Structure 1
Amino acid sequence: MHQRAVRVRQAGLIAGAAATALIAAGAITYAMAGDEGSSDAVPSAGSADAGFARDMAVHHQQAVEMSYVVRDRTDDEEVRRLAYDIAQTQANQRGMLLGWLDLWELPKVSADPPMTWMGMADAASGEDGALMPGMATNTEMRRLGSLSGERAEVFYLQLMTDHHKGGVHMAQACVRACEVGAEKRLARGMVEGQESEIALMAEMLEARGAAGRP
C-alpha cells in the first residue's frame, strides 16, 4: 500500500513537472517582459539574474549526470522514473538559463567564485569538485557509479536530497533578488518542485530502511 502511494504521488509530480516544462519552454520568448521586477533592462554580468543563471546551470548539470548514472545502476522502476524526470526537468531548465545568458549577451562563466551574487562566495571551497553547497564531490560521484541495486538507490536519493536542498536555497535567493520576471517565476517553480521531490525522496528512503544524511 505504501509503495502504491509513493507511485501515485510520483506520477503526480512527473505530470506536474511536465506541465511546468511546457510553460517554461515558452518563457524564454518573453524573458524581459515579466510582470515582476524590471521589464526592459538587460541584467549586468554581476547581477543576481546573471549569477543565478550561471550557477544554477552548473548545479543542474550535476543533477542530470547523477540521475543518468543511477538509471544504469538499478532496475527499480520508481527510482528510474524519478531519475529520468529530474534529468529531463533540470536539463530543460538549464537550457533556459543558458539561453537567457545568450539573450542578454553575457558570459556563461565568471571569474567570481560561485554564489558571489548571493553574498556567499566562501560557502563552498570547490574541494573535490563540490563547487556549491549540496553538490556531490568527485569522490561521491565515483562511489555512486560503483554501486548497484538498492545501495545505489539509497545513495542517489541521499545525494539528490542534499543537492535539491542546495538548489532550493539558491532559487529562493533568486526569488528575492532577481529582477527579470520570467526568471523569478522559474526560480519559484524550482523551489516548489524540488521541495516536493525532497519529501518524496524521504518517503522512498524510508521504504528502503534508510534516511537522509545528517
Structure 2
Amino acid sequence: MPARGGRGRRATVVLAVAVLVGAAVLAVPAVLRSGRPGTGGPEAGFARDMSTHHAQAVQMSFIVRDRTDDARVRLLAYDIANTQSQQIGMMTAWLDEWELPKADPGGRMRWMSGHGGHGGASAAPAPMPGMATPEQLARLERASGRDAEVLYLRLMITHHRAGVEMAEAVLGLTGHERVRRLARTMVQGQQSEIGLMEGMLRERGAAPSASGGPG
C-alpha cells in the first residue's frame, strides 16, 4: 500500500508538471501576440500614413515620366516610384501580420502628435505634411518639358523633407527593429535624393520652392 501511495503521488506531480508545461506552451503565442504593435501605436500609424505619403510620390513620378523626355528626371522618377512602391508593400504586409486595419479610425497622423504639431485626436484632420495639393497635381499634369521637371522637383523636395520628418519621428517613438530599419533607410535615401534634386533645379536655373510655384 505505501508503494502504491508513492506512485500515486509521483503520478500526481508528473501530471501537474505536464499541465504547467502545457499551459506555458499555450501562453507563448498569447505573449507574442501581446507584443505586437497596437492599432493606435506609432508603428501602425507610421505604416499607414507613410504608405499614403508614398502613394502620392509614386503618382507624381508616373505623371512626370509622361511629361518630359529628360533621361535623368525620368530615371529619378522611376527610382522613386519603384522604391516607394516596394516600401508600401512592406508596410502593408506589416499591418496584415499585425492584424490591424489599413486606416486608423481615429484619424491620420495621431501617432506623430507633438512632432511638429501634426495630428492629434481632437483636431480636425489637417493636410498630411509635404503633400501636393490637388491644384498642384493638376498643374503638373498640364505642364511639359522644363516646366514639368521644375515643378516635379520642387514638389518632390517638399514631399521628401516631410517624409524624412515622419521617419525621424518614428525613430524616436519605437523600439521595433523592422520599423526602425525601414525608417533609417527612408531618411538616408530621401535626404540623398533631396540633394540630387536641388542640384537638378540649379542646373535649370531654379531654386527649391516650398510652394512648387513657377521657376
TM-score, normalised to structure 2, is 0.77
What CA deviation, in whole Å up to 9, does each residue of 1:1-57 have, x standing for no partner? Answer: xxxxxxxxxxxxxxxxxxxxxxxxxxxxxxxxxxxxx9x810000000000000000
CA distance in 2, matches of 1:52, 1:139: 26
Q: 1:71 aligns with which of 50, 65, 68?
A: 65
Counterpart of 1:69, as a letter, is I
What CA deviation, in whole Å up to 9, does each residue of 1:124-180 have, x standing for no partner? Answer: 9767xxx31100011111110000000000000000000000100000011111232
**Kept in 2: contact 1:63–1:87 (CA 8 A):** yes
Provide structure 1 residue ranges, at least 5 long, that are not aligned to the other structure: 1-37
Counterpart of 1:52, as a letter, is F
Name the count of aligned residue pairs.
173
**Kept in 2: contact 1:49–1:179 (CA 8 A):** no
In structure 2, the residue matched to 1:178 is: 174
Q: What secondary structure is seen at the aligned counterpart in 2 of 1:95?
A: helix
Query: Following superposition of structure 1 onto structure 2, how do residues 12-161 of structure 1 map, counting pairs within 5 Å?
Result: 41-119=35-113, 120-121=118-119, 131-161=127-157
Taking structure 1 as reference, are residues 125 and 74 closer, same or farther at Cα in structure 2, changes over 3 Å only? farther
CA distance in 1, matches of 2:87, 2:174: 16
Larger RCO of the pair (alpha carbons < 8 Å, separation 6+) = 1
Counterpart of 1:208, as a letter, is R
Deviation at 1:105, TM superposition (A): 0.2
More displaced stretch, 143-152 vs 107-116:
107-116
CA distance in 1, matches of 2:134, 2:56: 10
In structure 2, the residue matched to 1:167 is: 163
CA distance in 1, matches of 2:179, 2:53: 16
Taking structure 1 as reference, are residues 195 and 180 closer, same or farther at Cα in structure 2, changes over 3 Å only? same
**Kept in 2: contact 1:158–1:212 (CA 8 A):** yes
Q: What secondary structure is seen at the aligned counterpart in 1 of 2:172?
A: helix
Deviation at 1:182, TM superposition (A): 0.9
Deviation at 1:59, TM superposition (A): 0.2
Identical aligned residues as a percent: 53
**Kept in 1: contact 2:108–2:125 (CA 8 A):** no
TM-score, normalised to structure 1, is 0.77
In structure 2, the residue matched to 1:35 is: none
CA distance in 2, matches of 1:179, 1:106: 19
**Kept in 1: contact 2:119–2:125 (CA 8 A):** no
Taking structure 1 as reference, are residues 207 and 55 closer, same or farther at Cα in structure 2, changes over 3 Å only? same
Deviation at 1:91, TM superposition (A): 0.2
